[in-house]
Structure 1
Amino acid sequence: MSVDTTAVETVNQAFYTAIENADLDRMTEIWADDMDGRQVSCVHPGWPIVSGRPEVLRSWALLMANTPYIQFVLTDVRVMVMGDVAILTCEENILTAGDEGDSSFAAGKVVASNTFVRTAEGWRLWLHHGSPVLQSDDDEEEDEAA
């Protein structure tokens, strides 16, 4: 594994840790700045695209403020580094507080593509795109049997 691959995986893990800890300061450090007329972008599952650093960070602030508990277990993590751009794909296995509050939990799966750019400060997130994975009744029965 290359130094760049390791660095991208480290920033990616910091991204998910920031979400889990509702750490907007750390999230702000992770996202790249808009540059040369190009804007960072984020696609939350089920949302339209959010463009521009201020709006992307605002979307994370809203999500964090309205999520009492969330935990990510990342699987099938793959990284491709091409010069000053890196693409990381993964499955986000998510555990979150359910509709009943602290006494219930909900689980789900999202596939994510995270694009990073190399900056003077190191690798920074340029695009996050999360897409929900729909689970069939067969998938749920397999999960319960495991």
Structure 2
Amino acid sequence: MSPRTAEAAAVEQAHQAFYDAVERSDLEALEGLVLTGPLAETVSVVHPGWPVLRGRREVMRSYALIMANTEYIQFFLTDVEVAVDGDTALVTCTENILTGGPAEEDGSAGSLVGGLVVATNVFRRTSGGWRLWVHHGSPVMAEGVEEGDDGDDGESI
């Protein structure tokens, strides 16, 4: 494995660990994945529909709130692309998200809702490995163009 490939694999491992921690509502694991030190105040996150949150404390608080108020969440990541340049790495992906509410009174599973979010995650190399610096998620509001469809439905705007 070439050094560049090894670096990309290490970044992808940190990227997956981030999503795994959120799925498990493991705030302690997430704490270990988010950048600390001199750049801690530059950590930022944009959750879909939220304003930009800046500073490690605010970012971690937002994840604590999400974890406390989400009964179930699962991410199926697609279109994952990793680029490494020195001590910085950029990962883009599509988050295919499945979330669920509390169980029904009869004990059956609660309602499940799916959604698509495109995400950009920036990681920074530290002495302890790759750490999440920036997460930006934007909801996908439009459906994609079907294969063979030129997107022209005859209507003009």
Q: Is residue 2:23 matched to residue 1:35?
A: no
Kindly indicate whether the alpha-carbon contact (under 8 Å) linking 2:71 and 2:102 is maintained by their aligned counterparts in 1: no
Letter of the 1:52 counterpart: G
Aligned-pair identity (%): 52
CA RMSD of aligned residues (A): 2.1
Matching residue of 2:123: 116
2:155 maps to none
Q: Deviations over 1:31-78 (max 9, x none)?
A: 001525851000000000010011100000000000000000000000
Write the distance in 2 (CA, Å) between the matches of 1:52 and 1:91.
Answer: 25
- Counterpart of 1:132? 139
Q: With the length of structure 2 as denominator, give the TM-score of the two structures.
A: 0.82
* 1:104 to partner: Cα distance: 1.0
Give the distance between the partners of 2:142 and 2:111, measured in 1 at CA.
19
Task: Find runs of 4+ consecutive structure 1 residues off by over 3 angstroms.
Answer: 98-102
Higher strand proportion, which one? 1
Asked whether the equivalents of residues 109 and 132 of structure 1 are also in contact (C-alpha less than 8 Å), the reply is yes
Between the aligned partners of 1:24 and 1:127, the Cα distance in structure 2 is 17
**Does the alignment pair 1:74 with 2:77?**
yes
Query: What is the Cα deviation at residue 134 of structure 1?
Result: 1.0
Structure 1 pair 87/37, CA: closer, same or farther in 2 (3 Å)?
A: closer
Mapped partners of 1:9, 1:114: distance in 2: 11
For 2:93, the equivalent position in structure 1 comes to 90
Measure, in 2, the Cα distance between the counterparts of 1:55 and 1:37: 11
Unaligned runs of 5+ in 2: 147-157
Greater C-alpha Rg: 2
Q: How many residues get paired?
A: 138
